[in-house]
Amino acid sequence: MPRKAIVNYHVIADQRQAYHIDAGGVQGKIISPPHAVTEVNLYDVRAETSVSFSDDSIGFVTSASEVHSFEQDDEWHRVYDQELDTLLSRNLGAKEVVVFDHTVRVDDPNSNRKPARNVHSDYSPQGAKQRLIDVLGEKKAAVWEKGHYAFVNVWRPIQNPINSAPLGFVRPSTVAETDWLQIDLVYPDRKGHIMGLVANPDHEWVYQSRMTPNEVAIFNIYDNHGKPSIGHSALDLIEDPSLTIPRKSIESRTLIRY
């Protein structure tokens, strides 16, 4: 039997919508566009269903890390980036891996980076092409565009198993092209955009229950050969109400060349 979870879908509107990040110069303050709070059925890949990166743009694998503390200093980057290189080369057949961003999220009201509770994907096709240039530079980006490349995220719990706000995914085969909206991200010094997903009763939601720091989710954000980007969101769901362990996780953004 599927579980129930609450998600925040985006909504169709007459005007272009936006998130205002660090609004008014206050770090962590976000002004959000309207959301549609929706209850969805949720299938656990541990028991009720199965997914694969090749078929569903999301895969769950066991991959222990030597890094146990992801603090502000950069001492852990070298070790963890190499682990990600090995992970993506082994599991996806990546010939080259560029790790360009890490985000630690804590499900706490005082955190500057809380779990993202809106159903989205990180890049539009236009945004992905610009990000390719931002990361590699125009000359190298032009070379990569002639081949097969992708933006792939790797998500891992930190310190404890996930008890609340797990990361859920919408199986791409259940998403219609018209379900996607482009949403602006307005920062104090720049502007970007994401793809937001609107509600559709056909959507099939999956997750892996009680993920541990030795487990990761590998998911596709953009692929220039057409592999679908996967909609995802933190879920309003608590595994064990008797526990009060806040969700901590690290999401690593990578650019890979097949």
pLDDT per residue as tens digits for the range 226-250? 999 999 999 999 999 999 999 999 9
In this prediction, residue 7 carries a pLDDT of 98
AA letter at 139:
K
What is the DSSP code string of 152-213? Answer: EEEEEE-SS---BS-EEEE-GGG--GGGEEEEEEE-SS-EEEEEEEB--TT--EEE-TT--T
Q: Amino acid identity of 206?
A: V
Structural tokens at position 48 = 């009720």
Six token digits for residue 85: 């290189």
Give me the pLDDT at residue 38, please: 98
Q: What is the pLDDT of residue 191?
A: 79
**Alpha-helix runs per DSSP H in the chain:** 53-56, 77-92, 125-136, 138-145
| pTM for this entry | 0.94
CA–CA separation, 228 vs 30, rounded Å? 28
Full strand arrangement of the beta sheet holding 248-257: 58-62, 215-223, 149-157, 248-257, 96-106
What distances in angstroms separate CA 155 from CA 20, 168, 191, one per listed residue? 24, 11, 25
**pLDDT tens digits along 151-172:** 999 999 999 999 999 999 999 9
pLDDT score at 75: 83
Predicted pLDDT of residue 186: 81
Reported for 77-82, long-range contacts at CB under 8 A and 24+ positions apart, including other chains, are 77/102, 80/252
Longest Cα separation, the chain: 54
pLDDT value for 164: 96
Q: From 54, 258, 227, 222, select the one nearest 132 (Cα to Cα).
A: 222
Torsion angles phi and psi, residue 113, rounded to 5: -130, 90
SS3 (DSSP) at 1: coil
Q: What per-residue confidence (pLDDT) applies to 72?
A: 64
Q: Given this model, what pLDDT does residue 3 score?
A: 94
> Positive or negative, the Cα torsion across 27, 29, 30, 36?
positive
DSSP state of 236: B
**pLDDT for position 23:** 67
Q: Is 176 exposed, middle or buried (0-12, 13-18, 19+ CB in 10 A)?
A: exposed
Residue ranges in the chain whose pLDDT is less than 50: none
Do 219 and 88 touch, CB atoms closer than 8 A?
A: no
